[in-house]
Amino acid sequence: MPASDQGVHLPRYKVIPRTLIFLVHGEEILLIRGAPTKRLWANRYNGLGGHVEHGEDPLSAAKRELREEAGVENVRLHGIGVLMVDVQADTGVCIFVFRGEVREKFSWQSEEGTLEWVSWKDVQKLPLVEDLPQILPRVLAWQQGDPPFWAISRYENEQLMVHFHSEEGDSSLLRS
């Protein structure tokens, strides 16, 4: 279908595609502590990831981000969820969430921040980016063969709300 038939018009809702990647080793998860010089999320913990660039699919973008942010290649990634982030009435962010298992831990530092392996039981004690307390339980509980999660987040009365839906039709509303 040509671009003219794709329904891309200025007043329509548009999204910026991004990836969010979590690597697991046993009972530990790899997070990046944002560099103190970062404009957003300085000294806060997040998964790895970034923008899906023009011409990339989400999985290729996730693998590129792993190379750039962790120096890692050849990790099998599983798409485990999609999070829509409402930013404005006509703009949002679509985050493709991935999880991978690694056999050996590694360390890496970049201008983005420092990678740290964190025990699952200690992760909620860290200064996490705002939506991670809601996302991480789904990431950690995921097992191969599970359906992906579907979620949307937005601010309501100055509080981040994350609404999850499952394939079975149930939903839950969480507050950060």
Domains, the chain:
3-150 (3.90.79.10)
pLDDT at residue 175 tops 50: no
| More confident site: 49 or 1 | 49
| More confident site: 87 or 6 | 87
What pLDDT digit, counting tens, does each position of 123-142 carry?
Answer: 999 999 999 999 999 999 99
What pLDDT digit, counting tens, does each position of 96-111 carry?
Answer: 999 999 999 988 877 7
**Which residues have CB under 8 Å from 61's CB, separation 6+?**
17, 19, 50, 51, 52, 53, 96
pLDDT at residue 6 tops 80: no
Would you tell me how many other CB atoms lie within 10 Å of the CB of residue 8?
9
Report the percent of the chain where pLDDT is more than 90.
65
pLDDT at residue 145 tops 80: yes
Confidence at residue 40, expressed as pLDDT on a 0 to 100 scale: 84
What pLDDT digit, counting tens, does each position of 38-77 carry?
Answer: 888 899 999 999 999 999 999 999 999 999 999 998 899 9
The tokens describing 150, both together, are: 């579907």
Confidence at residue 38, expressed as pLDDT on a 0 to 100 scale: 85
Alpha helices in the chain (DSSP H): 58-70, 132-141
Catalogue the E-assigned strands of the chain: 14-25, 28-34, 45-46, 48-51, 77-88, 91-101, 109-110, 113-119, 149-156, 159-165, 171-175
Confidence at residue 138, expressed as pLDDT on a 0 to 100 scale: 93
pLDDT at residue 15 tops 70: yes
> Residue 72, exposed/middle/buried by CB under 10 A (0-12, 13-18, 19+)?
buried
Confidence at residue 5, expressed as pLDDT on a 0 to 100 scale: 67
pTM exceeds cut of 0.75: yes
